[in-house]
Structure 1
Amino acid sequence: MEQDQRILARITEMVENERELRTSLSAGEIDSTTERQRLTELERELDQCWDLLRQRRAKTEYGENPDEAAVRPSSQVEGYLE
């Protein structure tokens, strides 16, 4: 459970970073290219965190050890909907 809380805290932090990027763009502090690059990185990491959290919860639900869940490569996580 403690690990799940850390993952959720990281997700919250990244969502806040996303908001800050959008605010920085609106304020003219960064350009749209920089915003897009940083958002792409954040989105990949967010997807990986959500995937890890889902893995951990599924393992717990089925009586397995959630600590055996592992971060999967973004290329694998990003391809779920394709």
Structure 2
Amino acid sequence: MDQEDILRRITGMVDDEKRLRASLEAGEIDPATERARLAALERELDQCWDLLRQRRAKAEFGENPDTARARPVSEVEGYES
């Protein structure tokens, strides 16, 4: 997955988050469902942002960004930007 793919995926997840919040406000889903889906989105976003940072760091230091790999959620969860 290249940088543009990652950015598209992040944009898609942000759009999903907005739809979830709108569905909650419209009464289409319950708060527990929204929280569970948002938590899953946040974990996936953490991984995408981490992968993007890895790719950029490798490129900056002359390494091949294609060697960057998604790390486990447990490793990237809660990283500060």
Fold shared by both chains (TM-score > 0.5):
yes
Contact 2:46 2:79 in 1 (8 A): no
Q: Which residue is equivalent to 2:19? A: 20
Deviates more, 1:70-79 or 1:20-29: 70-79
Is 1:42 the counterpart of 2:2 in the alignment? no
Identity of aligned residues (%): 68
**Residues matched between the structures, number:** 80
Which segments of structure 1 move beyond 3 Å, counting only runs of 4 or more?
none
1:66 paired residue number: 65
Looking at structure 1, the residues matched to 29 and 78 of structure 2 have their Cα atoms a distance apart, in angstroms, of: 29
TM-score of the superposed pair, with normalisation by structure 2: 0.94
TM-score, reference length from structure 1: 0.93
The residue matched to 1:29 in structure 2 has which SS? coil
8 Å contact kept, 2:51–2:69: yes
- Provide the alpha-carbon RMSD of the alignment: 1.2
| Aligned residue identity for 1:58 | A
